[in-house]
Structure 1
Amino acid sequence: ISLAGQSGPLVGPLVGGALTTYVSWRWIFFINVPFALTAALLAASLFPTTTKPVRTSFDFPGFLLVGIGMALLVFGMDSLAARDAMGWIIAGELGLAIAILALAAFYCLRSRNPLLDLNLLRIRTFRISFLTGGGLDTIGLSSVVFLLPLMFQLGFGMSAVQAGSLTFVAAIGSLLIRFFMPRVLNRFGFRRVLIFNTPVAACLVAGFALMQESAPTWIVLAYIFVFGMFRSVQWASTGNLSYSDIAPEQLSRFSALYYILWQLAVAISVGLAAALLSLLAGGGHASINDFRILFIIEGLITLCALFAYLKLTPQDGAHVSGHGAPMSTE
């Protein structure tokens, strides 16, 4: 369910690098318009309406609280990486963002028809796969999309197109492994897959610290390809487990909460990585060693998700993965 949203950031560096190099950086934003319009038309024409929609009033107060809180959080995380930002401004933005988001959470828990149904987090499999576990590994794994092209350009002296053409192979690995995920989950179940894959993915993130400018291109490509495969295993597993105990009537509210939390985790991931990189660089230009330290930190953050996945049981999500039942080959 999350393949498109996860593949986009992987393809982004290649497309963005080409647009920046050969057209204009402004087209990084303009190109989203035709894609969005096409997606809206396809959704309207292809998605069936099987039930009569139930009309509810739009949660405008919840929309304002969540929107303002998220915007302030993004501004605050961005200010952390800015060299000329004053400390009291950063503290004010982040403090106000946390306060407004806390108020938004309180409001959503008490509202009759909230914009975000936070009560869904009481479902254990959703909470583990997307908050206590999935939130941490999303922060660690998503940072690679930001840090790796930056390291190739600032540390290794590559152009935006060259960096994008290398990181793009992670998308190929992500797509290919998806064909095997139903069988993998059916054979091993969510718990065993996540307990095995999380340390491997964490090591692969930390392993970028060992990358050298003199390394042969085929080794770099192979490593990024393997990373893309294991990251896809992680996100395919948590994405499918997250909705395994969601009732049909809760799916619309689940979708809204899922993608808001996903975007929040990605924003925190990029903002935290940028802030730590600026801190390591001491306000100057980041060196290759700064990137190496940061990749190790991101690997440790990813590894921390393992503590949450250890709380899963072999039966969690079995009715989705088919674990314990023979898989049809037809």
Structure 2
Amino acid sequence: MEAPRTPSYRTTAIIVASALFMEQLDGTVLATALPTMARTFGVSPLHMSAALTSYLLALAMFIPASGYVADRFGAKKTFRLAILIFTLGSIACGQARTLPFLVVARFLQGTGGAMMVPVGRLVLLRSVAKADMVSAMSWFMVPALLGPVVGPPLGGWIVTFASWRWIFYLNVPIGLLGMVLVTRYIANFKEPPAGPFDLRGFVLSSLALSCLVFGLEIGARREGVSPAWTLGTLAFGAAMALAYLRHARRTAHPLLDLTLLRLPTFGISVASGALTRITGGALPFLLPLMLQVGFGVSAARSGLITFSTAVGSFLMKLTAPPILRRFGFRSTLVYNALIASALLAVCAAFRPGWPMLLINGLLLVGGFFQSLQYTALNTVAYADVAQDRMSLATSLYSTVQQLMLSMGICVSTLVLAASTRLQGHDAPHLGDFSAAFLVVTFISLLASPICARLPRDAGAVMTGHGAGLPHPN
């Protein structure tokens, strides 16, 4: 193992989080710039969705293999290579002169992103003591919440005052700095792979996940796509998923080890996190759209309003450790899911007549509780996972996470479209957005009873909750 300088857990978390922020920011900034990019390439804005889906397809295909690659070559080397691939893909995107070139470049970028996030989480899990994990994960989760709210206003500013190509060029200095910091501070944690690479499992999981993600994506965007094509893509993806499940039961070392779901802390976190991630995918989509379409505010102003959720997430990182130490994971997750869901439901009542100060305050508090839920789920998931299975756990967790984020956009879009049609509107009205928020709220509420199945002492070694347990630093 390489022996770089030993950093504090905060330094490690920030290094890993910077890569996550780069990926999260890139996707949300790009969505705002698509109409401008379409004019550059001389194509319809509808066709620009290929630049989004090619990236998602790369994520779906390569995230399952990230754990094996990290075990085979070492987490540090894999993480550094992932940042390099993402950065090179960003440069290629910025140089694109045609849409097909951009689609290929985005796929390359997505290949790096597929390794960057799960391997970055693996670096954190193997670098930080369990007693410091809650604090470290709090820092790690901030970019995931910050990127989607910073992205839209930043994208609007870039396309208004500069070239859209700077959306991609901004990743270059961040990527170079990230590689330097990883080289200097991160150890090359390495576990011998439990078995040979599961090639058949890789093919089946890639087909299943790429078709499911692609089907959800085109289902959410619908324009110009027949329902039969969408349903056919989803059906084929489901068939490949069933084929993978059969394969995983028969092979000794599957690519995605579903037996990890038998661990109560991991399995419950995956199930509850799946519902919570649907909300995580829906909120950054619904809220800016409601403010711009329903309230009539500009993209820049809506970005400033939604930024309040990011402020709440920053406040959370300071208070999550004492909250979890006082109440433990189970109680925190059960009651916090109810509070976060209630604050999400309040978004359905937002109207232009509300004072903006009140809306900002509610979004700030909502961002706090949403961030606390994500941090707790992402931490307790690994409380009982053995070190030699940690890479498999991060691959599986990240795969489910990516699928559910896509599901969140799809669900909110379908509800919004259905309500618009039922009400006979040509475009979504505020009542249609309210319906979408309430449906997503109901899904979010389902996470609470699932979390109630956690053991009372779940993750106690990470928080110091309970008598006679170590106290975190």
Structure 2-normalised TM-score? 0.64
Aligned with 2:371 (options 208, 215, 232): 232
Aligned with 2:442 (options 289, 300, 303): 300
In structure 1, how many angstroms separate the alpha carbons of the residues matched to 2:175 and 2:195?
A: 25
| AA of the residue aligned to 1:65 | L
Q: Secondary structure at the match of 2:296?
A: coil
| AA of the residue aligned to 2:414 | A
Q: Does 1:135 align with 2:277?
A: no
| AA of the residue aligned to 2:312 | G
The alpha-carbon distance between structure 1 residues 328 and 244, as it changes in their structure 2 partners (threshold 3 A), is closer
Q: What is residue 307 of structure 2 aligned with on the other side? A: 168
Q: Is the 8 A contact 1:120 1:254 kept in 2?
A: yes
The alpha-carbon distance between structure 1 residues 13 and 87, as it changes in their structure 2 partners (threshold 3 A), is same
1:257, CA displacement in angstroms? Answer: 1.4
| AA of the residue aligned to 2:206 | G
Higher mean C-alpha deviation, range 283-292 or range 220-229? 283-292
Counterparts in 2 of 1:148-167, with a 5 A limit?
A: 148-167=287-306
Q: What is residue 317 of structure 1 aligned with on the other side? A: 459
Q: Secondary structure at the match of 1:168?
A: helix
| AA of the residue aligned to 2:392 | R
Q: Is the 8 A contact 1:74 1:271 kept in 2?
A: no
In structure 2, how many angstroms separate the alpha carbons of the residues matched to 1:111 and 1:37?
A: 40
- 1:57-104 CA-to-partner distances (Å, cap 9, x unmatched) read 443333332223222222222332314432211210111111112222
The alpha-carbon distance between structure 1 residues 297 and 157, as it changes in their structure 2 partners (threshold 3 A), is same
| AA of the residue aligned to 2:310 | A
The alpha-carbon distance between structure 1 residues 29 and 96, as it changes in their structure 2 partners (threshold 3 A), is farther
Q: Does 1:22 align with 2:161?
A: yes
In structure 2, how many angstroms separate the alpha carbons of the residues matched to 1:151 and 1:57?
A: 49
Percent of aligned positions that are identical: 33
Counterparts in 2 of 1:30-179, with a 5 A limit?
A: 31-32=170-171, 35-36=174-175, 38-50=177-189, 57-81=196-220, 82-131=222-271, 133-179=272-318
| AA of the residue aligned to 1:311 | R
Q: Is the 8 A contact 1:78 1:275 kept in 2?
A: no
Q: Is the 8 A contact 2:463 2:471 kept in 1?
A: no
In structure 2, how many angstroms separate the alpha carbons of the residues matched to 1:156 and 1:118?
A: 45
Q: Is the 8 A contact 1:130 1:242 kept in 2?
A: yes
Q: Is the 8 A contact 1:109 1:117 kept in 2?
A: no
- 1:251-296 CA-to-partner distances (Å, cap 9, x unmatched) read 1111111211111111111122112212222284211111011101
Q: Does 1:194 align with 2:333?
A: yes
In structure 2, how many angstroms separate the alpha carbons of the residues matched to 1:12 and 1:109?
A: 41
- 1:3-52 CA-to-partner distances (Å, cap 9, x unmatched) read 13343334323333333443355654564565455444533442213557
The alpha-carbon distance between structure 1 residues 289 and 305, as it changes in their structure 2 partners (threshold 3 A), is same
Counterparts in 2 of 1:201-216, with a 5 A limit?
A: 201-216=340-355
In structure 1, how many angstroms separate the alpha carbons of the residues matched to 2:209 and 2:273?
A: 19
| AA of the residue aligned to 1:232 | S
- 1:142-173 CA-to-partner distances (Å, cap 9, x unmatched) read 31111101111111122222111111121121
| AA of the residue aligned to 1:251 | M
| AA of the residue aligned to 2:345 | A
Q: What is residue 406 of structure 2 aligned with on the other side? A: 267
Q: How many residues align?
A: 329
In structure 2, how many angstroms separate the alpha carbons of the residues matched to 1:120 and 1:293?
A: 36
In structure 1, how many angstroms separate the alpha carbons of the residues matched to 2:242 and 2:145?
A: 28
Instruction: Could you tell me which runs of 5 or more consecutive residues in structure 2 were left unpaired when the two chains were aligned.
Output: 1-136
Alignment RMSD, CA only?
Answer: 2.5
| AA of the residue aligned to 2:453 | K
Greater relative contact order: 1 or 2 (C-alpha under 8 angstroms, separation 6 or more)?
Answer: 1
Higher mean C-alpha deviation, range 203-212 or range 275-284? 275-284
Q: Is the 8 A contact 2:463 2:472 kept in 1?
A: no
Q: What is residue 59 of structure 2 aligned with on the other side? A: none
Q: Is the 8 A contact 2:335 2:448 kept in 1?
A: no
Q: Secondary structure at the match of 1:99?
A: helix
In structure 2, how many angstroms separate the alpha carbons of the residues matched to 1:38 and 1:281?
A: 46
| AA of the residue aligned to 1:270 | I
